[in-house]
A and B are shown apart, each in its own frame.
Chain A
Amino acid sequence: MLGMAPRLLAWMQRPSASSQVFHIRRSVGQVRGGYGVTERARSQNDRLHRQVVTENTVSRHAALFLDSVSGSRSVRVITYGTGILFFLVIVFVPPVFGILLGWPKILEMLSYPDLMTRAGSAIAASFAIAVPVSLLDLAAGLPLAWFIVRSKSAWVSTIDTLANIPFIVPTVALGYSVLTFWGSDQGLGGLLGPQFILSPGWQMIVLLHFAFSYPVIVRVMVGALQGYKEVYEIAARTLGASAFTAVRTVSLPLLKPSLIAAFLLAFARSLSETGATIMVAGTFENGPVFIRNARVAGLESPLIFVSFVLIVTSSLFFIAVRFLAPRMGLPISKVIPGLETQLSSKHSVRLRNLLTFLAFILVVITPSLFVVLPGVDAVADGTLQSMVSGSGIWATYWQAVGLSYLIALVATGLNMMMGLPVSILIARARGGKLIAGILDTLVNIPIVVPSIALGVSIAVFWADITYIPEFWLLVFAHSSITYTYFVRSMIAGVESIPSEVEDVARTLGARPLAVFRRLTLPLSKYALLAGAIMAFTRSVDETGATLAVAKKLTTAPVLMVDWVRGTIPASASAIGLGLALLVLTSFVSLLVLTVASRRM
C-alpha cells in the first residue's frame, strides 16, 4: 500500500494547471475497507462526479432535453408506433389490401368470358416471361460476377462500371433504347439489313427484361462473392475436386441464399416493370400492359381484376420461393470427374468468358446505351433550343420533370423519417423477435407486387376519400414503392453495427436518442444515403403506379411513354433528348453517392 503514492505520482508526471480533478498531493492515503483503495483515491473519484454543467446554449439544452425525454417508455412507443402506423396505413395496407374494396368489380369481371381469357393470358405471360428471363439472367450474370470478383485482369473495374449502366439508365430510357436498337433501321437493322429489324412484341419484352434485370443479378452476386471465403473452394481443390466440381459442389450450395435473393429481385423487377414494357410491347399484353390498356380504354373491372390476381399471385410466388427454395438441395451427390475436369480446363474457361462477354455487350450494354444516338441528333437539329426555351411540348415536359422530382423528394423524405424507426425495430428486434420477424417479411412485399397493380390498389383504397389531393396520392404510391429500398438498406446498415456498441454507450450514460444521434446514425450514414438515393431514383423512374393513380397530373416517365407510343406526337430527337436528361440526373445521383461514400 505504501508504494502506491509514488507510483501514482509517476503516472501523472506533469499535471496541467487546469487539471483539478486528478491533482494529487504528496501524501500517503489512509487505507479503508481493506481493498487497497485509499481515501485520497476516493475523494478524487468524488470530485470527478461533482463537476457542474456551466455552458448554456439553447441548442445543447434542447438536445439534452430531447435525449432525456427519449428514455421514457411512452416516447419510445410513440416513435416506433408512428413508424409502424405509417408503414401499415400508407405503405402496406392500401397497395396490398386496397384492391379488396373493389371486390364487386372483381366479381363483375366473371361475366365477361372473353375479357377473362385475355386477362388470363396476360397474367400468364407476365410469369412466363419473368421466370425464364430471371433464370437466364442468373446463368449469364453469375460468370460475369465471378469474373469481376476473381479475375486479376486490368479490365475488371471497367467491366464492373459497365455492368451498372442498365441500373443507371431509367427504365423508360432503357425501353426506348432497346426499341431503337432492335426495332429500327438506326440499330441492328441498319447494320445487318431490314430483315433483322424486330417488331415490338414479346421477343422485345424478353430482351428488355433480360437487359434491365442483368445488373441486379451481377450486383447481388458480386456482393455475395466478395463476402464468400474462397478457402472452402481451395480446401475442395486440395481434396481432389476439379475447379468446376469445387464450385458446383461447395461454392454454389454455400451461395444459395444469395442466388435465391438475386433471382427473386430479378423476378420482381421483371414482373413489375411497366413503362419500358409498354413501349416495346406492341400489341402483345402482359399483366402491366393489360392494366394500362384497360385504363386507357376506361374499363374498370378488368383493371381491378388483373391487379387483384397479380397482387395475390406475385405475393404467393414470392413467399413460396422464399420458404421452399432454401429447402431444395442442389444436386451434388454425383460427380462426373472426366467431364468436369474438361470443363475446368483453360479452354473451357476462356470459351465461357467469351460467351459471357458477348452476351453482356450485345444484349445488355449496347441496347442500353442506344438512347444516346437520338440525343446527339437533337443537339444538331435545334430541338435542344426549343427544349431550353420550353416551347411546344416542352412546356409540359418541364412541368412533368418538376413534378417527378418533387414527388421523389417528398416521398423519400417521408420514408426516411418514418422508415428509420421501423428499420431499427427490425434490425434490433425491439419489441420482440416475433414482431420484428413479421415486419421484416412484410416490408418486402411492396417491391414484389407489380407496381401498376399496386397503384390500382392504392387508387381503389383512397377512391372514396376525395379530399386528399392527387399529388399526395402520388406521393403515397411512390412512398409505397420506394419504402423497401430505403428500409432494407437501413436495416443492413444498423445490423452491421455491433449491438454491443450501443449497449456500452447506454452504460456510459447516453439516453436512447443520444445513442441514436451519436452512434447509430453516424455509423450507418452510408446505408442511409444509399437507401435514400435508391429510393429517390426509383421514384423518379416509376411508371406503373403513377399511371394507375394519376388522373390529371403527369410525371416525366409517364409523359415519355406517351411520347414514344405516339399518344402525344413528338419527334425522335425530342424523345431522345427528353430521355437523355433523365439519364443524366440519374447518373448524377449515383455519382453523388459514389463520391459521398468515398468521403465517409
Chain B
Amino acid sequence: MTSLTSITLVDVTKTFARVRAIDRISLEIRDGEYVCVLGPTGSGKTTLLRLIAGLTSPTSGDIKLDGKSVTYVRPEDRNAAYVPQQYALFPHMTVRENVAFGPLARGFTSEESLQKADEILRIVRLAHRAGSSPHELSGGMQQRVALARGLAAGASLLLLDEPLGAIDARLRVMLRYEIRRLAKEVAVTVIHVTHDQQEAMSIADRIAVLREGTLAQFGPPSEIYTSPESPFLANFVGGANFLEGTVVEKKPETTLVEVAEGFRIAGPASAHLVGDAVVASFRRERTSILTSANLEENVVPGKLVSTSLLGVFLRCSVDLGRAGTIVAKVPLREAIEQGLPDLVGEAVCVSTNRDAVIIFTRPKRPLAVELEAL
C-alpha cells in the first residue's frame, strides 16, 4: 500500500455555457509520476486541474483517484492540493501558519500542525522565514511556501497551475528543476500545468498536450518531440517546417511527396497511399544549408532571405519560390564556417535527412489555421 496517487480520467467533458472547455478526455497518470499538461492559452488546462481538484464537477465522465471514483467527492476529501498561479498564500497568516493550515483543517492539534509545518518548511529550506508574512517573500520563496502548504496538508497529489508563471525568466529555469526534485524527494504525484514547452520538456516524466479541450497527445517528452501525432503538435512542441503536397510514389523504404511541380520531398515509408493529400514536415534544427549544389535526395535550391541569431543557432530563412519558405536552425559554429551571415540574398540549397521527415495526413482546416496556437 502506498499513499501516492494515480489518476484516471474516463471520457471527461466539461461544458461552460455550451462551450466545451474539456472535450472527452481520457488519460491515466501513474502514481509518483510528474506530468506536465502543456497547451496554449484557452486550451482547458486550468479547467482540467480544477476538475481533478474537485473545484468543479464534470458535465459527464468519471474521475478516479487510485482507482476509486471521486467525481462527486468534495475537494477537501481528495488529498489533492491545488496551487494556483499566484499561489494564493493566505495574507493574514504567517508562513508557518499558512503551512499549518492543512493539518489543522484535517483535525490535528495546533501543536502537531505547527510541528509538521516546521518540518516541511525545513525541507523547502524556509525554516528561517517561518515567522514572515507571505508578502515579504520573493516570488520563488512564495512558490516554495505554496508547495510546502500543499505537502503539509497531506496531499499525495499536487496540482500546480503555471507554478513558474509569476517568476523572472532567468530564475524560472532554475526553479523548475527544484520543483521536480522536491516532488520526487517527498514522493508525490504532480500535475504541472504550463504553456512553456521547454519547461515541460525538461522536467516532465510525461507530457499531456491539450488543444481546444481535447487531449492531443500524451507521452514522454522524447516521444512527443520525435513522433508528434499531428502538424499542430510538431509545430507547438519544438517547431518545424511544413510543406503541403501529394504522395506521388511509394517505394519499400521511401515515400515521395510532391510539394510543388517538379519539387519532391522524400520521407520514410508511411501508411499513406499514392494520391493522398499530405503535409511533409521536418524539424528546423534538422534542416541544413548547403552552399554548393549537388543533386542528392532532399536537396532543394532557394534563396537565403534573412538570418538571425538564436543563442547557439543561426536561424536562416530560405525562399523556395512556389513551395514556400523554409527555416533552418544551423548550429552557430557551422554557420560561421559556412559564412552564412554574409550570404543573405544569395542562392543556396536546403537539405534534410529522409528519416527526419514526418508525413501527416493533410488536416481538414487550412494548414495556417491548424498550426495556429489555439
Contact = CB atoms under 8 A, between A and B. Distances in A.
A42 B5 CA distance: 11
Interface stretch (B178-186, B210-218, B272-280, B352-360): B178-186
B18 interface: no
Interface in B98-131: 101-102, 104-112, 115-116, 119-120, 122-123, 125
A18 to B, nearest CB: 7
A510 B75 CA distance: 9
A510 B76 contact: yes
The bracket for how many chain A residues form the interface is: 35 or more
Nearest to A600: B92
Given A37-B187, A51-B112, A22 B92 contact: no
B187 A51 contact: no
A522 interface: yes
Interface stretch (A53-61, A95-103, A399-407, A458-466): A53-61
Contacts, number: 157
B123 A22 contact: yes
B141 to A, nearest CB: 16
The bracket for how many chain B residues form the interface is: 35 or more
A553 to B, nearest CB: 42
Nearest to A60: B109
A22 B116 CA distance: 10
A353 interface: no
Interface in A498-521: 498, 500-501, 503-511, 514, 518-519
Given A44-B187, A45-B187, A505-B105, A22 B119 contact: yes
A498 B88 contact: yes
B49 to A, nearest CB: 10
A509 B156 CA distance: 12
A509 B76 contact: yes
Interface in A30-67: 32-33, 35-38, 41-42, 44-46, 48-49, 51, 53-55, 60, 64, 67
Interface stretch (B27-35, B167-175, B315-323): B27-35
B222 to A, nearest CB: 14
B186 A508 contact: no
A42 B116 contact: no
A509 B105 contact: yes
B171 to A, nearest CB: 20
B154 A509 contact: yes
B83 interface: yes
Contact of A46 (B2, B55, B109): B2
Nearest to B190: A35
Interface string B50-71: 1001110000000000000000
B19 to A, nearest CB: 16
Contact of B92 (A21, A53, A522): A522
Nearest to A11: B123
A12 interface: yes
B205 interface: yes
Nearest to B205: A35
Interface in A175-197: none
B187 A507 contact: no
A334 interface: no
Contacts of B107: 53, 64
B4 interface: yes
B185 to A, nearest CB: 6
Contact of B88 (A38, A48, A60, A500): A500
A71 interface: yes
Nearest first, the 9 closest Cβ-Cβ pairs linking A and B are: A55-B109, A41-B187, A37-B32, A510-B105, A508-B102, A508-B153, A506-B75, A507-B82, A45-B187
Given A48-B151, A506-B55, 16 more contacts: A15-B122, A22-B119, A35-B30, A35-B33, A35-B205, A37-B184, A41-B186, A42-B32, A44-B187, A48-B3, A49-B3, A64-B107, A507-B81, A507-B153, A508-B155, A522-B92
12 contacts: A4-B185, A7-B181, A22-B119, A22-B122, A33-B33, A45-B186, A54-B112, A508-B101, A509-B76, A509-B79, A509-B102, A510-B102
